[in-house]
Amino acid sequence: MEDFLQALFLGTLQGLTEFLPISSSAHLRIFPELFGWGDPGAAFTAVIQIGTELAVLVYFRHDIWQIAKTWTLSLFKPEYRGHLDARMGWFVIIGSLPIVVLGIFLKETIESNFRNLWLIAVMLIVMGLVLGLADKLGGNEKRVKQMTIRDSVLMGAAQAAALIPGVSRSGATLSMGRCLGYERAAVTRFAFLLAIPAVVGAGIFQLNEIPTGDNMYGWGPTIFATVVSFVVGYAAIAWLLRYVSHHTLAPFVVYRVLLGAGVLALLAAGVLSA
């Protein structure tokens, strides 16, 4: 029962933080350690993120269907190749390559060195400041229809940095998108789509690690946490899309810096162990 209560908390935490630019993987590493539960494990973190990506698939099901359909048609019918949905399909595929390739080659490092709390705390602060500067100084005039292959590659490369907990997939993609001049709502929607192949792929890749790997929880709590993250994540998507249309990202920047500084202080005091 205790494992399921912890899974309820962690699934809720994952659903609340996955789409916000504050790093869900950092939260899943910090808070269990703070409560004395220990590290839930990289595989557990990767698998329950499938729940939030399923929420993306459901929320954007009409957009995703149009993109998939038009992209497939464009492979056989030249008249579809200039359509935005066909190009968006290529943008997501090409933009996903950096994190997929690096994720495979850095698997052992991701599961060990990258989960060090000193590193995570520093990344929360540094990438929080990067996010703040990008949002403040970046342009706001480009729309999704103006996206290019170059832009998708750059945002995909930024997303790959989120293999380090504390960076944040959405935060890194938003930072790069704002630097490239895209409006917040446009780059946020693209960040959602770009994350689907990477997160679902990573979760499936790590499935066999749940019963045998270095993880705190077995199949039951992991599946439960995944379902909870789906429900909470679905609500978080709608809220974030409304929020970024009318507000800056400054509150997230402040939160990241405060959380990172707090973790550094607790590590220095010996309250937390890295």
Find, among 72, 112, 113, 107, the residue nearest to 93 by Cα. Answer: 72
C-alpha atoms less than 13 angstroms from C-alpha of 111 in its C-beta half-sphere: 19
**Which amino acid does the sequence have at 202?**
A
Find, among 199, 201, 198, 148, the residue nearest to 177 by Cα. Answer: 148
- Give the model's pLDDT for residue 91: 96
Mean per-residue pLDDT of the chain: 90
Q: What is the 3-state secondary structure (H, E, C) of the chain?
A: CHHHHHHHHHHHHHHHHCCCCCCHHHHHHHHHHHCCCCCCCHHHHHHHHHHHHHHHHHHCHHHHHHHHHHHHHHCCCHHHCCCHHHHHHHHHHHHHHHHHHHHHHCHHHHHCHHHCHHHHHHHHHHHHHHHHHHHHHCCCCECHHHCCHHHHHHHHHHHHHHHCCCCCHHHHHHHHHHHCCECHHHHHHHHHHHHHHHHHHHHHHCCCHHHHCCCCCCHHHHHHHHHHHHHHHHHHHHHHHHHHCCCCCHHHHHHHHHHHHHHHHHHHHCCCCC
248 vs 227: CA distance, rounded Å: 31
* High-pLDDT (> 70) share of the chain, %: 98
What count of residues does the chain have? 274
Whether pLDDT at 238 is above 80: yes
Each residue's pLDDT tens digit, 18-73: 889 999 999 999 999 999 888 888 888 888 888 998 999 999 999 999 999 999 99
Q: Which two tokens stand for residue 137?
A: 């100084």
- Give the model's pLDDT for residue 166: 93
Whether pLDDT at 212 is above 70: no
Whether pLDDT at 108 is above 90: no
Whether pLDDT at 145 is above 70: yes
138: pLDDT confidence band, cut at 50, 70 and 90? confident
* High-pLDDT (> 90) share of the chain, %: 60
Arithmetic mean of pLDDT, 244-261: 92
Q: Are 13 and 28 in contact (CB under 8 A)?
A: yes
Each residue's pLDDT tens digit, 168-210: 999 999 999 999 999 888 898 899 899 888 888 877 777 777 6
Whether pLDDT at 142 is above 90: no
- Choice between 46 and 254, residue whose per-residue pLDDT is larger: 254
174 vs 132: CA distance, rounded Å: 10
- Minimum mean pLDDT among 117-126, 155-164, 193-202, 223-232: which range? 193-202
Task: Give the predicted TM-score (pTM) of the model.
Answer: 0.88
Each residue's pLDDT tens digit, 38-51: 888 888 888 888 89
- Give the model's pLDDT for residue 167: 94
Q: Which two tokens stand for residue 259?
A: 């959380």
- Give the model's pLDDT for residue 86: 95
